[in-house]
Amino acid sequence: MATLTVHRHRSSPAVVARRATRRTSFLLVMALLALFCAFPFVWATITMFKANADLYNPAHNPFLFNQPATLSHLLLLFQQTPFLTFVKNSAVVGGVVTGLTLLGSVPAAYALARLIPGWGDKLGIAIFMVYLVPPTLLFLPLSHVVATLGLQDNLWSLVVVYPSFTIPLSTWLLMGFFKSIPRDIIEQAQVDGCSPIGALLRVVMPLAVPGIITVMVFSFTLTTQDFIYALAFISSSDQMTISVGVPTNLIRGDVFYWQSLMAATVIVAVPIALVYNVFLRRFIQGFTMGAMKG
C-alpha cells in the first residue's frame, strides 16, 4: 500500500519574526488604548476615596493615597443628597421611555423597510433628520406641550419629551436590521398562514433580537445622560434624574464636592458598563447591521 507523505511548509525565521513583531505591536497598541479609555474611570475611583487635604495638595501624587482613604464622601452622597431618589427617577424614566420607543419604532421600522417599497428609505431618512435637530430648537415647542399637558416640574414630562428623539433614531437603526432579514423567510411564514403582524411577531422579532437590544441600550443611555430637557422641565429635587440632580446638589455656589461627584459617576457607570459588556456582541451586531443596511 502506497504511503502518502505530507510535507508542511515551514515559514522562514524572518517571516516568523515579522509576525511576532506585528502581533506584539498590535497588543501594545490595544493595551495603550485600553489604558487611555480606562483612565477616567480609574481617576474617578481613586478620587472618590481621597481626603480633602490629600486631593487639594499639589505636592501629593494624585494617583496615590498619601493619606488614609475615607468613606465620608460616599456618606455625604447617600445621606446629604437624595441620590437614591435620582437613581429611581432615572430608572423609571429610562424604562418607560425604552418601552414606548420599542412600541413606536419596531412597527414603524418594519413598515418602512418591508411594507412600503420605494418610499420607505426616503421616509426613513426624513424620520432620522428629526433626531439631528438640536434640542435648543425644540425647547420652546416642547415647553408648550408640557405646559398644555400640565406636567411642569413633573417626572412624566420627560417621558413625553424623550421619545421625540429616541423613536427617530431607533426607527432608523431597526430599518437597516429588518432589511438584512431575508424576504423569503417572511413570505414563507405568510404562505404558512401568518398575517403580516404574525410574521413580524413569530419570525422577524426573534431574528431581530440584536437590533432590539441595540435600540434598548441606546434609548436608555440617551435618556439617562440628557441634561438640557431634564434641567429645563424639572426643578424639584424629588423629581430630578441623575444627570441633573447630582450636579445640582453637589455644586453649591463656588464649592465643588469633587469626591462625591466622582463617587456618583462611578456608581452609575458600573452597572451601565456591565450591561454593555453582557450584550456587547449583540449590541455591535445590531448597530453595524443597521449602519450598513440603512
How far is 7 from 43, CA to CA, in rounded Å?
55
111 and 88 share a domain?
yes
161 and 289 share a domain?
yes
Helical packing angle, 119-131 and 163-180, nearest 10°: 150
107 and 191 share a domain?
yes
Q: Which three cell numbers stand for residue 163?
A: 421619545
pLDDT in tens, 123-165: 777 777 777 777 777 878 888 888 888 888 899 999 999 998 8
Q: Is the residue at 8 inside a domain?
A: no
Please give the residue range of the domain that contains residue 63.
18-70
**E strand or H helix at 27, and its extent?**
helix 13-48
Angle at 41 between CA 260 and CA 155, to 5 degrees: 55
pLDDT band at 290 (very low <50, low <70, confident <90, very high): very low
What is the reported pTM? 0.79
53 and 118 share a domain?
no
pLDDT at 17 over 60: yes
Q: Is the residue at 75 inside a domain?
A: no
35 and 146 share a domain?
no
Q: Is the residue at 1 inside a domain?
A: no
pLDDT band at 291 (very low <50, low <70, confident <90, very high): very low
Mean pLDDT of the residues in the chain: 82
Q: Classify the C-alpha dihedral 192-195-201-207 as positive or negative.
A: positive
Nearest to 217 by CA among 98, 130, 107: 98
Q: Are 109 and 175 in contact (CB under 8 A)?
A: yes
Residue 171 neighbours by CB distance under 10 Å = 28
Residue 215 neighbours by CB distance under 10 Å = 28
149 and 266 share a domain?
yes
**Dihedral angle at the C-alpha atoms of 279, 280, 281, 287, nearest 10 degrees?**
100
Q: Is the residue at 188 inside a domain?
A: yes
At 244, which CATH number?
1.10.3720.10
Q: Is the residue at 13 inside a domain?
A: no
Size (the chain), residues: 294
Chain centroid offset of residue 155 CA: 21
Nearest to 189 by CA among 174, 173, 172, 201: 201
pLDDT in tens, 58-111: 888 888 888 898 999 999 999 999 999 999 999 999 999 999 999 998 888 888
Question: Which residue's entry shows cell 499639589?
Answer: 58
Domain count, the chain: 2
